[in-house]
Amino acid sequence: MEKSETLAERVQFLINSNNLSVTAAAQKCGVPQPRLNDIVSGKTKNPHSGTIDKIARGFEVRAGWLLTGEGEMYENLPDGGDGPEPGTLIYYGDLLVKTVIAVENLIREQKADLPPEDRAKLIEIIYEMSLYRKHLMDNKEIRKILKLVG
């Protein structure tokens, strides 16, 4: 797939490539149909992280790709080694959800005004660092990165 410009285009691509209706896709992902419809129509441009996680899981794609359209669309699975190579984004649902929640909470706490693309990149960076370390970065470390970005 060519790089899609919007989240709506990427979700619509997933729905079409799976020969699903929006209603069937919503059921597949465990997302309310009106919410998925709002994403596909472009009405909702920055959905809740839990919604992104459900859509990514439902279609078995990388949440980072779903958010930004960058990188590989499908998950890379670990080969049983010491963990992923730095720079390789691998989808581990719980770690990703915890990363998104931690980053969003700190952005709110810091009252940082980051555009969605910068939020997605920040989440991806912290997620990759957490994967490399094999645990979620603590809030103090995330705050330092947020200060550099924000």
Report how many helices (DSSP H) and strands (DSSP E) the chain contains, helices first: 8, 0
Residue 101 has pLDDT above 50, yes or no: yes
43-55 residue pLDDT tens: 998 888 889 889 9
The model's pTM is 0.52
List phi, psi (to 5°) of 61: -120, 165
Residue 11 has pLDDT above 90, yes or no: yes
The domain at 7-68 falls in which architecture?
Answer: Orthogonal Bundle (1.10)
Per-residue pLDDT, 42: 92
The pLDDT-based confidence of 25 (bands split at 50, 70, 90) is very high
Per-residue pLDDT, 136: 76
Query: Strand, helix or coil at 74?
Result: strand
- Classify burial at 144, counting beta carbons within 10 Å of its beta carbon; exposed 0-12, middle 13-18, buried 19 or more: exposed
